[in-house]
Structure 1
Amino acid sequence: MSPSFLIATHADAEHATGHLRRSLTLAEALRSRGHDVAVQAPDTDYVRVLASAWCPNGGGLRLEGLAGSVEEADPDVVVFDLPRSLGPVSDVRAARVAALDRFDFADERIDLFVDLFVPGWARPEHPLGERLAEGLQFSMVRPEVAAERDAAGAVRNDAGRVLVLFGGSDAGGMTARALAQMADAGIGAEVDVVVGPGVPGLDPQVPGADAFDARVHVDPPDLPRLMASADLAVSGGGTTLLELMCLGRPTVVAPRTADESEFAHAIAAQGGCLVVDPAEEDAIGTAVRELASDARARERLSECARALVDGRGPIRIAESLEALT
């Protein structure tokens, strides 16, 4: 009999939208291998907005209180994909327990720890389970993004198309800040702006977009194609960055949190992206202008990014989870 899996995750407008997205991606990978999978997230207004956009037919997503219902469930494997701000969940009845990117299971039993650690990332101490799956080869890239990997064009001499996207919620209004700086820097490229489903109001009138006559896409169904067709991208340092890397898109990263900054700088040290400090007045605009004018630099970023993230992360994690049962 095929083992059953429960993925317990979370999302909020500040920083955790990517946790829900990648949990759904992992669930899809496990189901494709014949397993019974449920994804559980808190029943909040914000999660319901994301669920209606990403799981119109349910997708095995259960919205309910986190701790109690996880403890009452009885799957073969529970997978926790939670931000560090949430406390550990005790008394899980599953035969095996796995964790994705979690460092604060102080006294918890963890049988598999999946860690996107990269050299140079000063990760906190954490207890290791019986197995450790470690590295960017476990990056959770959606299959529809990985499918565009071969179609993504090579770096062109002319960076004529720039894509600006800051994930599902754009905490801190980074999209408007990036557009304003790009306008001040005299960027002359065509600009596509993606507004995620978690942005309040889903207002297509993004401040600064009119400076470029930019095309604004609200939660577009063809996002993987938009990403693959960009000559250069401006993004945060979370799940979206990893998907852009899979497609070999040269990316300027403006981190929104301390964790994103630490992670993106570690990737930049390997040549996978270019990181700027969004608090600096002209940092984003200057970086985009300089990168747009340097085809060789974009080519180096593209090659390194594709080598670091190949799009097979969900399958590798699914195989590691299967090995627990």
Structure 2
Amino acid sequence: MNIVFRVDASLAMGTGHVMRCLTLARALREQGHACLFISREHDGNLNALIGDAGFGLHVLPIGRAQDNDLYHSRWLGASQAEDAAASQAPIAAWRPHWLVVDHYALDHRWEALVTPAGCRVLVIDDLADRCHVCDLLLDQNLGRHIDDYRKRVPDHCTLLVGPGNALLRADFSLLRHSSLIRRERGDLQNVLIALGGVDQHNHTGNILDALNSCELPDGIRFTVVLGATAPHLQAVTAAARSCPWPVEVLSGIDDMPRRMAEADLAVGAAGGTSWERCCLGVPTLMVILAENQKSGATALAASGAAVLIDASRSLVAQLQCAFDQLQASPRRQQMAIAASRITDGQGTERLLQLMESSR
């Protein structure tokens, strides 16, 4: 099959949309299918990463943000009609069997303009705030229900809803068993801080500053992970040097599953990486960084898999309280069990089978 992805990354929208599409594209390629990405050249884009991964890439030039009736319309850098006009030729030339759309600023109008005859459409979404003309729709968020989309998609559309469908790399499910066994260890030593590939507002630096004022267990050490395009990487690296505990700062790494599996606790963002941590049973202090993350994060906290950290309130008090509570091994083990029940990491394989079976 030929598959076209329409997806962007930027400083405003982060890297998660492209990363989950790359996960699906790699799984498709392993089965012999060919993938093309169409991505706009926003500040903070991941077009070089897409190209380095060996996928076809058609780059759309920077445009002017347009306001329309969609809440995230300004993330597109053009109107939907302009974006569709620029995307039609590369889509038609690829002769796709599937068009994958992962963009909050695109809806049924764009899909109707660009989808060739005989091509199926997969929409990846998190918001349930607009209509689509699609054959498959995936929303991997906890707390989302099929009824949230029933009136927004055609009757024939298959809905894949919930974190059991999360698009995770195979590495996560492969490490799941050993990671869950590791949760039986008692000491709180390795803490992973990963607040998104971009972290545009430097929440990572704020967390490190707050931790400097906390009393933490002896022998604790931190690993900070940022994306290669993170604008505050140098500032975070400098802040890490002044911390009273060992802090390793990494960027653009490709072994995140191993880093998560080795962590006793994570300080992480809500969003797609939540399901990676759940698959591995990693207890999490979850920082909500965007409005659209609130419902999923609240559901995770209610499940017992995470403790919420409100970035708008005093971080020192919240972090100190959380570390005091989670220093005890039984509480972390309870969180690990709750997290592991949320997803088994097989969502990518399930989606791949559905796409192949509907040829």
Normalising by the residue count of structure 1, what TM-score does the alignment of the two structures yield? 0.88
Query: Residue 179 of structure 1: which of 194, 205, 208 is its match?
Result: 208
- CA distance in 1 between counterparts of 2:294 and 2:242 reads 29
**Mean Cα displacement is larger for which, 33-42 or 165-174?**
33-42
- Do 2:279 and 2:340's aligned partners in 1 also have CA atoms closer than 8 Å? yes
Query: Residue 355 of structure 2: which of 308, 318, 321 is its match?
Result: 321
- CA distance in 2 between counterparts of 1:35 and 1:172 reads 38
Encode CA deviations 1:38-95: one digit per residue, 9 max, x unaligned. 2221123421xx343465243334323553343331311111111x245551312332
Query: Residue 239 of structure 2: which of 195, 207, 214 is its match?
Result: 207
Identity of aligned residues (%): 26
How much has 1:271 moved relative to structure 2? 2.3
Q: Does 1:194 align with 2:225?
A: yes
Change (3 A) 1:25 1:277: same
- Do 1:97 and 1:109's aligned partners in 2 also have CA atoms closer than 8 Å? yes
Specify which structure has the higher proportion of helix.
Answer: 2
Q: Output the aligned Cα RMSD.
A: 2.5
Encode CA deviations 1:114-168: one digit per residue, 9 max, x unaligned. 1224337899655134211111111111223333223322242111111111121
- CA distance in 2 between counterparts of 1:279 and 1:164 reads 18
- CA distance in 2 between counterparts of 1:165 and 1:274 reads 15
Counterpart in 1 of 2:74? none
Counterpart in 2 of 1:127? 152
Q: Which SS does the other structure have where 1:8 is aligned?
A: strand
Counterpart in 2 of 1:147? 174
- Do 1:117 and 1:123's aligned partners in 2 also have CA atoms closer than 8 Å? no
Amino acid aligned to 1:31: R
- CA distance in 2 between counterparts of 1:175 and 1:122 reads 35
Question: Any residues of structure 2 matched to 1:1-325 within 5 Å, and which?
Answer: 3-47=1-45, 50-53=46-49, 55-64=51-60, 66-72=83-89, 73=91, 74-82=95-103, 84-86=104-106, 88-89=109-110, 90-94=112-116, 95-101=119-125, 103-106=128-131, 108-119=132-143, 127-129=152-154, 130=156, 131-152=158-179, 153-188=182-217, 189-200=220-231, 202-203=233-234, 205-208=237-240, 210-211=242-243, 212-282=245-315, 284-325=318-359
Change (3 A) 1:44 1:117: closer
- Do 1:155 and 1:298's aligned partners in 2 also have CA atoms closer than 8 Å? no
Q: Which SS does the other structure have where 2:207 is aligned?
A: helix
How much has 1:209 moved relative to structure 2? 5.1
Counterpart in 1 of 2:73? none
How much has 1:194 moved relative to structure 2? 1.2
How much has 1:223 moved relative to structure 2? 2.5
- CA distance in 2 between counterparts of 1:8 and 1:76 reads 14
Amino acid aligned to 1:6: V
How much has 1:104 moved relative to structure 2? 4.4
Normalising by the residue count of structure 2, what TM-score does the alignment of the two structures yield? 0.81
Change (3 A) 1:243 1:8: same
- CA distance in 2 between counterparts of 1:110 and 1:223 reads 32
Encode CA deviations 1:165-191: one digit per residue, 9 max, x unaligned. 112101221111111222222124111
Structure (1 or 2) with the larger CA radius of gyration: 2
Q: Which SS does the other structure have where 1:243 is aligned?
A: helix
Amino acid aligned to 1:238: G
